[in-house]
Structures are given as structure tokens and as C-alpha cells.
């Protein structure tokens, strides 16, 4: 399956004879990634060597074509696009696209080819909450803290203790609170806040 990004810049430049800094953005044309349009920060969101100010209106970048499962559940946190997708090595897991480093696996929540099946993403502060499957807890409330990426995805709470799953759904964040529906094994599916 394909994951693509559509460029947001639009160039309307015409050809201009070589001058030291035609676009007056402070960069000599030999070093400028967009020599005919001002691009003072030399931004290049897709890393193709062409400055954002010069990207054609129809610029499309293929981010990845190696997914066995359609990428879905797109959520942005701190300018990084997080999504659920699958490959043969890791199963269906949490992936991300960062314009600087590209597509990468965030965490193999259910290790190996077994599916972690992260779903129902919600952000609160610097955290991405989701329901996901682990071999120890079943499908429970999990979190990825973008300020501590080395921790990966961790358990928030085993709402339905043991291997039975609380099946958290309909997660949404409001200010500094997370709201969701989950089954605790005693009261049935109910509204919770964390």
C-alpha cells in the first residue's frame, strides 16, 4: 500500500539570468535550494533538495510503498504524522512520518509479526494515547510520550485485569484530560477519564 504526501508550496518563478542573490533571501544562488524564490530559512519539508518555495503545486512525494496493511488513523503530534500500518516483519503497528527523517516504526507493540493493532488515537500534551494489543495485557490503554521516545509505547492501565481486554475506543483529549470508553470487566463498557 502507498503512503504519500502532497507538497504545499507553489512556485511561479520564471527563468532569470544568474546573479549572486536574485531572490534576495541572503543565500548565494550556488548555495540556494530555491534560487528564484525567496526561501530565507532554506526549508525543504520533503528533503528532496528543492526548497519549499520552489516546489511545484502538484508535488507529491511517496513516503512508503512497503505496507501490507493500508496506513490509517492519521494523527499529528508535534509536527510528526503518526499512523497505524502493517508490514510482514512487525505486523500492524505504530509508524510515523517525520519530514526530516522519513517513515519509521515507532514501536513494535506486540513484538514480531503479531499485530499490536493500535487504534483510536488521541493526543493530550506531548502524548499519543491509543488502544493496543500486548501479549501480557490484551487490548488496553497505551501511550507514546513524544518527549521520551526511547520508552516506546507503554501501558497506561490494565483496565480489564489479566489477558481479557478493556477494548478502549472513542478516545479524545480535551485540554489536559483524556476521555474514552472501555470495559473494566465489572461495570461493562463505560465512559472513563484519565
pLDDT at 181: 93
Domain with CATH 2.40.128 in the chain: 67-193
Q: How many CB atoms lie within 10 A of CB 101?
A: 10
Contacts (Cβ under 8 Å, ≥6 apart) of 26: 40
Greater confidence (156 vs 26) lies with 156
Please tell me which of 5-9, 18-22, 131-135 the model is most confident about, judged by mean pLDDT. Answer: 131-135
First to last CA, the chain: 35
Reported pTM: 0.69
User: If you classify domain 67-193 with CATH, what class do you get?
Assistant: mainly beta
pLDDT at 56: 57
Please tell me which of 2-6, 35-39, 46-50, 103-107 the model is most confident about, judged by mean pLDDT. Answer: 103-107
Amino acid at each position: 500500500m502507498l503512503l504519500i504526501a502532497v507538497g504545499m508550496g507553489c512556485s511561479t518563478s520564471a527563468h532569470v539570468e544568474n546573479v549572486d542573490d536574485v531572490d534576495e533571501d541572503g543565500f548565494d544562488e550556488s548555495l540556494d535550494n530555491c534560487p528564484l524564490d525567496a526561501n530565507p530559512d532554506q526549508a525543504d519539508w520533503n528533503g528532496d533538495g528543492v526548497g519549499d518555495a520552489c516546489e511545484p503545486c502538484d508535488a507529491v512525494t511517496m513516503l512508503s510503498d512497503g505496507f501490507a496493511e493500508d496506513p490509517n488513523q492519521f494523527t499529528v503530534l508535534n509536527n510528526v504524522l503518526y499512523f497505524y500500518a502493517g508490514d510482514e516483519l512487525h505486523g500492524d503497528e505504530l509508524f510515523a512520518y517525520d519530514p526530516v527523517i522519513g517513515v519509521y516504526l515507532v514501536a513494535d507493540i506486540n513484538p514480531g509479526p503479531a499485530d499490536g493493532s493500535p487504534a483510536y488515537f488521541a493526543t493530550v500534551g506531548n502524548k499519543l494515547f491509543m488502544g493496543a494489543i500486548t501479549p501480557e495485557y490484551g487490548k488496553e490503554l497505551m501511550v507514546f510520550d513524544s518527549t521520551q521516545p526511547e520508552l516506546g509505547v507503554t501501558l497506561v492501565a490494565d483496565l480489564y485485569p489479566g489477558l481479557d481486554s478493556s477494548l478502549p475506543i472513542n478516545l479524545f483529549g480535551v485540554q489536559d484530560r483524556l476521555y474514552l470508553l472501555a470495559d473494566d470487566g465489572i461495570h461493562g463498557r463505560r465512559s472513563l477519564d484519565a
